Amino acid sequence: MRLILLGPPGAGKGTQAARIEQRYGIRQLSTGDMLRAAVAAGTPVGQKAKDIMARGELVPDEVVVQIISERLDQPDCAKGFILDGFPRTVAQAEALEELLKAKGIRLDAVVELEVDGSILIERIEKRARESAGGPRADDNAEALKKRLEVYHAQTAPLIAFYRDRGLLRTVDGMASMDDVTNQIVSVLEAA
């Protein structure tokens, strides 16, 4: 099973990808987590990404495409994968299409988590307040405003991109976490 989870910041992509990974034994590939790990380790990619992420902007397409391209070649992705937070631009989606074509892999579904703006802000403010290790560098009002603007300008066009390819499935991301998981499972069982 190969799928993409699409949605604005705080929509629950990371939350749901971890649950789907558990349920189906397919790998969660979160570009956000990979980039945060690179920042924490101080690698060249991390040094490049650190300030960009803290401002709530997108890391350059070529950097993220390279990370995903290498990751998809790892043996643990052979059974399937959930792309969480990738692609985030039309250029990334086109690069992914080429990559998958070259590897002879077909996507099963693109699941969009639909959540209203006010709920996204509430969720991220809650995470910033409650996170044990302190808030994420980009979980503050200014960066969040930017992340939402970037989503609408650069990522939302992917909804039409995948609808045109007959892959888009939209679920209500405002329901409880269990309910959202059940909706995604239904979509996958039907794919």
Positions that interact with ligand B4P (CB under 6 A): 7, 9-15, 31-32, 35, 52-53, 56-59, 64, 85-86, 88, 92, 123, 127, 138, 147, 176-177, 180
Residue 63 beta carbon to ligand B4P: minimum distance, rounded to whole angstroms: 8
Residue nearest to ligand B4P (CB): 32
For residue 36, say whether it is annotated as part of any ligand binding site: yes
Provide the Cα torsion 18, 30, 167, 78; round to 10°: -80
Of the pair 66, 74, the CB lying nearest ligand B4P is at 66
The answer to whether residue 163 is catalytic is no
Annotated catalytic residue: which of 48, 136, 146, 163?
136
The full DSSP string for 43-110 is: -HHHHHHHHHHHHT-PPPHHHHHHHHHHHHTSGGGTT-EEEES---SHHHHHHHHHHHHHHT----EE
Confirm whether residue 47 is marked as ligand binding: no
